[in-house]
Structure 1
Amino acid sequence: MTGYRPVAVFDRARGVLIDGDGKVLAPLSQVQLARRMQLGSSSPKLVAVTPSGDRILKRGNPFNGGIGNLDEVLTAAVYGR
């Protein structure tokens, strides 16, 4: 995984969402995970919805299984629900 740059980090200790450069995007209390449709694809993408806009976390691809239940897994891991 060291060869991959993070798109976002859910810093539960500090309670914030951080971008790949380390900039705080929003408090976790103001972040929601959601599925959004992609233009030209039958698979949804996974986004972090913040007060300053949506941040794409993963683009779904119908040929490799899409995003599956990643939204549910991340919600449980980050928010414990």
Structure 2
Amino acid sequence: MTFTILIGATLYGVIGLTFLILSATELLESGRSTTLRLLSTLLTSLIWPLTIVVAISRSGPMLERSLPQPTY
């Protein structure tokens, strides 16, 4: 159990850190970085699993199997 939590926390950290590095680099290179944008990038990198859950929950109809419509 502890090993699973350690693996999960490591993956969470690696993915979050990668997202933070890539996003901050893009903002800085494009010249569009502001303090607020960089802070929002940091916040987003910390809560990325929540973003995935919200995105999937809002796309519910796309995930449901569509039934053929009857023709009359």
The higher-RCO structure (CA 8 Å, 6+ apart) is 2
* Fold match (TM-score > 0.5): no
Larger Rg: 2
Q: Indicate the TM-score class for this superposition, using the shorter chain for normalisation.
A: under 0.3
Structure with more strand by fraction = 1
